[in-house]
Amino acid sequence: MERLTLPNGLRVVLAPDRSAPVVGVAVVYDVGIRSEPEGRTGFAHLFEHLMFQGSANLEKLAHFRHVQGSGGTFNGSTHLDYTDYFEVLPSNALERALFLEADRMRGPRLTEENLRNQVDVVKEEIRVNVLNQPYGGFPWLTLPPVMFDTFPNAHDGYGSFTDLESATVADAADFFERYYAAGNAVLTVAGDIDVAETTALIERHFGSVPARPAPARPSFDEPDLTAERRKSYTDRLAPLPAVAAAWRVPDPVADFAGYLPYVVLAEVLTDGDASRLVERLVLKDRSVTSVGGYLGFMGEPFEVRDPTALLLQAHLPPGGDTDKLLRTVDEELDRLAQDGLAAGELARTQARMATHLLRDTDAVLSRTLRMAVLEQQRGEPGLLNELPVLLAEVTEEQIRAAAAALRPERRATIEVIPGAAR
């Protein structure tokens, strides 16, 4: 793995792997849902769409045509703390992908026509994925406003139709100027590459992108909860009740050692039929039909910043009792904190986690994206290869302490009342 920084501030990570004639290219910008301005909910996601609408040198849909014409795939996605753009292509098409990403880094084609068109596209996406979908936005959109008080952490990242419709081309230009600077981005190229040749190509295409400083990232921290918070809402399309609960966890970047036990704890609780809550709630009590646990509202344990949380979510049978469910979760957490783990329980969980990590990062796209985000948030793209070892070093004592910290008074809960139940 090689790392370098261009004079304009663009950070670059190169990870050669000659095992297959494929390359992954990712550009990650340090801007996400938490960074969008008040009164412009959904703007980070809207801007992601605008980045595919052409540039000064390329017409609308040219990006699609050039990538797919070379046998590649592409996409982009908006997260709480970053926005990514990526391609996977045959290695002989690497320069094409670098040209395309550098071209829109200089500036997307921000016109009234493109803006209005993409506002309509995003609104339709909200209709399909949230408004007309059972459990739409549960819990990643519905739980943060229960747990958090500040606009960056609590607002709807998909956006309100009112905010989206009031967005202007000037807003988009300001957003680009502020956040889409080369100094606020990371470029990662992984796969079938020669480091020297790839470096020369990157310098050729990105070296002339104008230098703009990265904006200072504000602290989004909030005080932890000192009293339980709980809300419910009726989902007109949901056939069964559901509930999600969350507890704040240590800073995943500044206190990584304190954070890792919670990542393992979530798996101890919910990963597989032998896990604590699956065994108790699904198989024994049959008080839920499914239960899952994960770190981060978007399920990205190693690609999120503070503040974040450990989440548990469950779907209940008809007439399911949320109060009883939460009491049972508290019982299991207390039992784990007091009695510890069964023989082999931690080792089994850590082995499964290592297997999942290695499998997930085997694909060139997963490797490319994860290294880009790790560089962006930590300056440590190589951490990707260390994660299985670091997770294996988490001790039973750390797991017990983490379980003991998940107290009811620190919990935020959102309950879905089924509106489609018969």
Which residue, among 28, 15, 131, has the nearest Cα to 383 in the 3D structure? 15
Arithmetic mean of pLDDT, 355-372: 94
Residues contacting 254, CB < 8 A, separation 6+: 306
Other residues' Cβ atoms within 10 Å of the Cβ of residue 76: 18
The pLDDT mean for the chain works out to 96
* Angle at the Cα of 373 from the Cα atoms of 372 and 375, rounded to 5 degrees: 65
The span from the CA of 131 to the CA of 136, in Å, is 6
- pLDDT of 210 higher than 80: yes
Tell me the two tokens of residue 350: 């850590």
Q: Give the global pTM.
A: 0.96
The span from the CA of 68 to the CA of 48, in Å, is 19
- What is the model's pLDDT at position 422? 56
- What is the model's pLDDT at position 331? 97
For 27-79, what is each residue's pLDDT tens digit? 999 999 999 999 999 999 999 999 999 997 999 889 999 999 999 999 999 99
For 260-297, what is each residue's pLDDT tens digit? 999 999 999 999 898 999 999 999 999 999 999 999 99
% of the chain exceeding 90 in pLDDT: 97
Q: 242 with 138: CB under 8 angstroms?
A: yes
For 129-155, what is each residue's pLDDT tens digit? 999 999 999 999 999 999 999 999 999
The span from the CA of 213 to the CA of 7, in Å, is 11
Position 326, amino acid = L
